[in-house]
Structure 1
Amino acid sequence: MTPAELRTTLLEFALSLPEAWRDAPWGEEDVVVKVRKKIFAFLGSDEDPSSVTVKLRDGHGHAMSLPGAKPTGYGLGRHGWVSLPLAEVAEDVELLCDWVEESYRLVAPKTLVARLDADADPAV
């Protein structure tokens, strides 16, 4: 899967989460995904779909062990944000979707996380 295709897959997955929406706060080329007013995924631009940035706690150590992974700049890395080069992680789409969901869970209000859990559990 190319980085552009992977970016599209991650964007579609992120937008499937409760109350998630696409925004371009720094111009149409730079895409982020927000829940309510908070960003939970940075997905770069259409012209440069080279990386994804997510906030991680449980997956942080694993993510940082991948080639090219680095703490996100502007002080975000201190708070668990990791930037991952899509070319290096393109083979594991499921893991990346898990990390997008983890980032969502860390940023979203508890009521939306509970809704996500309820939607995932058919017994509820």
Structure 2
Amino acid sequence: MTASARIRALALALPEATERVSHGESSWFVRKAPQFVTMADHHHDDRLAIWAAAPPGAQADWVSRDPTRFFVPPYMGGRGWIGVYLDVPSADETEDEKFWNDVADVVEDAYRTVAPKTLIRKLDEDSR
């Protein structure tokens, strides 16, 4: 499965999440609130990444853990959003699985950051 397909599956599994094109890229929303956006070759950097809404402190935490994969995105970084490079090769299958588990956490955190409380409760109920 491609990185884009994995991101799409993670995002659309969340209650009332939708995909739309915004600024020329696939973006995911919870109702009208932007959850995250994919960036392919942004400013000709030849990278594939997502920029995601994040709770307070998460940006610094992720970047300090692995700055080769996590970064402060331009424009939205000042609002606490986190960038995740999706094109960094993994050393092995175990590392790849751990990375995608981390990406799933970032996607869920983005959702929880922008979703209304009623949808967060629904997510919590559905995951029991």
CA 1:120/1:79 → structure 2, altered by over 3 Å: closer, same or farther? same
Q: Is the 8 A contact 2:47 2:87 kept in 1?
A: no
1:71 corresponds to = 72
Paired residues in the alignment total 114
2:120 corresponds to = 113
Deviation at 1:103, TM superposition (A): 0.5
Deviations 1:61-86 (A, max 9, x none): 33212215322222x21221011211
SS in 1 for 2:87: helix
Residue 17 (1) aligns with residue 14 (2): yes
SS in 1 for 2:29: strand
SS in 1 for 2:22: coil
TM-score by length of 2: 0.77
Amino acid at match of 1:105: R
1:36 corresponds to = 31
Gaps of 5+ in 1: none
Gaps of 5+ in 2: 41-45, 91-95
2:93 corresponds to = none
CA 1:89/1:98 → structure 2, altered by over 3 Å: closer, same or farther? farther
2:4 corresponds to = 7
Deviation at 1:25, TM superposition (A): 2.3
Runs of 4+ deviating beyond 6 Å: none
TM-score by length of 1: 0.79
